[in-house]
Structure 1
Amino acid sequence: MAKNIAFVFPGQGAQYSGMGKDFYNQYEKAKQIYDYASEICNIDVKKICFDSSDSRIHETKYTQIAIFTTSLAILECVHGIGVTSTVNAGLSLGEYTALAASNVIDIKDLFLLVKKRGKYMQEAFPTGGAMAAVIGLSEREVVAICNQMNGNIYIANYNCPGQIVVTGEKAVVEASYEIFQKKGARMVLPLNVSGPFHSPLLETAKKKLEISLKDVQINNFIIPYVSNVNAKYINYSCDIKSLLSEQIVSSVKWQQSIKEMIRQGVDLFIEVGPGSTLTNLIRKIDPGVEVLNIQAVGDMKTLLKVN
């Protein structure tokens, strides 16, 4: 029986030095993506991704283009063996790879948008922001603590049951750790990001992205994607540009998105890109659903049973 497949794509924080290098070396399609990214963005994307001495991989304005390029390169290889999806989704930045997979926006425009998005987000709050994953508390408990804090702290991501990411001013986020733990959180994990993403503190980035999106053409695409903002299937008739700009300052409804795709009949999720964060989250959201993770050439063999 044919599988109802969703491709899912990772966001910022999934990056690591050497990501995608084996695909670059072994697949011409992947090499072409890295070379095209470097040309279009006027950045040596290969060096950022592959050179362990290049610290730019952890700077937002470079991280985002590096992860997007790597995920897209791996996606091309997956498509190359005939595996396709019925819906796509990505966590935060990963939503832009989902747009590519669904052919919502042309690749060249997406590269330029991702480059601008990373730049705008870094400029909006260059220092003094932080994010952390709170493990072991309910949504209601986390929201209540955020509301009682004196300062800017917000819900950034609804990742999975018992895992919610908070975002905001660094001093406020760090002051919340002790309170979360006193309320029973098993763990509070600071995230490897450089800003208070998915919060109103990035309003200036949202406004700049709105302007950049004005001249971007939305294709008459067939394969839907799921929006982080509302966890709904998005088609050509939706206000896609508003959703993309709103995404920068809104909570990422990842758990709700996965549940919606399962409700719509998805029975196989394939995480495409660096890391295995989404694979782990999906297994916590629904232990019964099948999930594959493609981040290295050796993982491609797991797709043979799909095709």
Structure 2
Amino acid sequence: MKAYVFPGQGAQFVGMGKDLYETNSTAKEMFEKANEVLGFRITDLMFAGTDEDLRQTKVTQPAIFLHSVILAKTMGDQFKPDMVAGHSLGEFSALVAAGALSFEDGLILVSKRAQAMQKACEATPSTMAAVLALPDGKVEEVCAGIMDEVVVAANYNCPGQIVISGSVPGIDRACEQLLAAGAKRALKLKVGGAFHSPLMEPARAELAEAINHTTFCKPVCPVYQNVNAEPQTDPEAIKSNLIAQLTAPVRWTQTVMNMIADGADSFTEIGPGAVLQGLVKKVSKEMVTEGIQ
């Protein structure tokens, strides 16, 4: 069975989507539609902007979404997923590619999500850190022990790699304690806020309203969602899980394991970068992976 996966924030690069725009009329039409929907020429920033331009959350998230979704759409009949999943932002790409959301609605939600997250980041100084080579349970225990600050496990990326999220003082203390507990690394990331933590609650509330006013359809195949790593096809359940996603951890390790248990024998990453292919291989060395970008 063929699984398709879609990358999240951090996979962006200058020039992303340019060849697609120049060589495929369907892609060009979709990119121009995106410029119209967003109210600014995101294509100018994607194709010829600076790294700094692309790092703006309001640009990064729609840019990665557009690159991924337009790639999937231009595959035509070759895109025949048995199951799909996306990492954080990538879940929106997966939902559009699988037909649960229209292209325009997906783009509008991603844009609103990016702006709401940016506001939440500005409201409270916060950050994230990558933790390597400690069991999940130990990382959770250290986070839970920091009582007076927000610190939580945010991304279960693969065995031995967790990203934690929270207040700046909380993350600093957690990193010290995790290194003392035997972590190979506990490295703060260059991000603007504590994604997938309780500090994203204002963004979750704002996005919930937008999601609840958006039409979702039954996807063409199961979508494995971040919050519980389970396959879903019911539109109302998909909406509920998508709303919960901003303040809940991304259970990527569990997602990949569940997809394999349910019969996935190959994973194709659609969109910029190759991060998810690497994470899949760390869950299962034998798994066949490829990327389309």
Q: If the TM-score is normalised by the length of the shorter chain, which range does it land in?
A: over 0.9
- Number of the residue aligned with 1:23: 20
**1:65-103: CA deviations, max 9, x gaps?**
1110111122223x2362321111000000000101111
Quick one: which amino acid aligns to residue 175 of structure 1?
R
**Do the aligned residues in 1 keep the contact of 2:98 with 2:219 (CA within 8 Å)?**
yes
- Number of the residue aligned with 1:273: 271
Candidates 38, 54, 57, aligned match of 2:54: 57
Structure 1 residue 40 displacement after superposition: 0.9
**Do the aligned residues in 2 keep the contact of 1:199 with 1:249 (CA within 8 Å)?**
yes
Structure 1 residue 176 displacement after superposition: 2.3
In 2: Cα distance, 1:211 partner to 1:292 partner: 36
Structure 1 residue 220 displacement after superposition: 3.2
Structure 1 residue 237 displacement after superposition: 5.7
- Number of the residue aligned with 1:120: 116
In 1: Cα distance, 2:71 partner to 2:190 partner: 23
Correspondences of 1:142-161 after superposition (within 5 Å): 142-149=139-146, 150-161=148-159
Structure 1 residue 213 displacement after superposition: 1.6
In 2: Cα distance, 1:266 partner to 1:50 partner: 34
Alpha carbon RMSD of aligned pairs, Å? 1.6
In 2: Cα distance, 1:192 partner to 1:9 partner: 21
Could you list the structure 1 runs, at least 4 aligned residues long, displaced by more than 4 angstroms after superposition.
none
Correspondences of 1:204-223 after superposition (within 5 Å): 204-223=202-221
**Do the aligned residues in 2 keep the contact of 1:33 with 1:72 (CA within 8 Å)?**
no
**SS state at 1:157 partner:** strand
Structure 1 residue 21 displacement after superposition: 2.0
Candidates 97, 100, 116, aligned match of 2:96: 100
Greater mean deviation of Cα atoms: 16-25 or 108-117:
16-25
Structure 1 residue 12 displacement after superposition: 0.8
Does residue 253 of the first structure (1) align with residue 251 of the second (2)? yes
**SS state at 1:261 partner:** helix
**SS state at 1:248 partner:** helix
**Do the aligned residues in 2 keep the contact of 1:128 with 1:171 (CA within 8 Å)?**
no
Give the TM-score taking structure 2 as reference length. 0.94
**SS state at 2:290 partner:** strand
Greater mean deviation of Cα atoms: 262-271 or 228-237:
228-237
**Do the aligned residues in 2 keep the contact of 1:8 with 1:269 (CA within 8 Å)?**
yes
Give the TM-score taking structure 1 as reference length. 0.90
What is the percentage of aligned positions where both structures have the same residue?
A: 37
In 1: Cα distance, 2:187 partner to 2:268 partner: 26
Candidates 69, 79, 86, aligned match of 1:83: 79
- Number of the residue aligned with 1:133: 130
- Number of the residue aligned with 2:66: 69
In 2: Cα distance, 1:25 partner to 1:175 partner: 49
Q: How many residues align?
A: 291
Pick closer, same or farther for the CA change 1:107–1:237 going to 2, 3 Å: closer
Structure 1 residue 33 displacement after superposition: 2.3
Pick closer, same or farther for the CA change 1:238–1:289 going to 2, 3 Å: farther
In 2: Cα distance, 1:137 partner to 1:130 partner: 20
**Do the aligned residues in 1 keep the contact of 2:105 with 2:214 (CA within 8 Å)?**
yes
In 2: Cα distance, 1:215 partner to 1:114 partner: 14
Structure 1 residue 41 displacement after superposition: 1.1
Structure 1 residue 10 displacement after superposition: 0.5
Does residue 264 of the first structure (1) align with residue 262 of the second (2)? yes
**Do the aligned residues in 2 keep the contact of 1:59 with 1:194 (CA within 8 Å)?**
no
**1:133-177: CA deviations, max 9, x gaps?**
101101011011112224111110111000001001123213322
Structure 1 residue 189 displacement after superposition: 3.2
In 1: Cα distance, 2:267 partner to 2:240 partner: 27
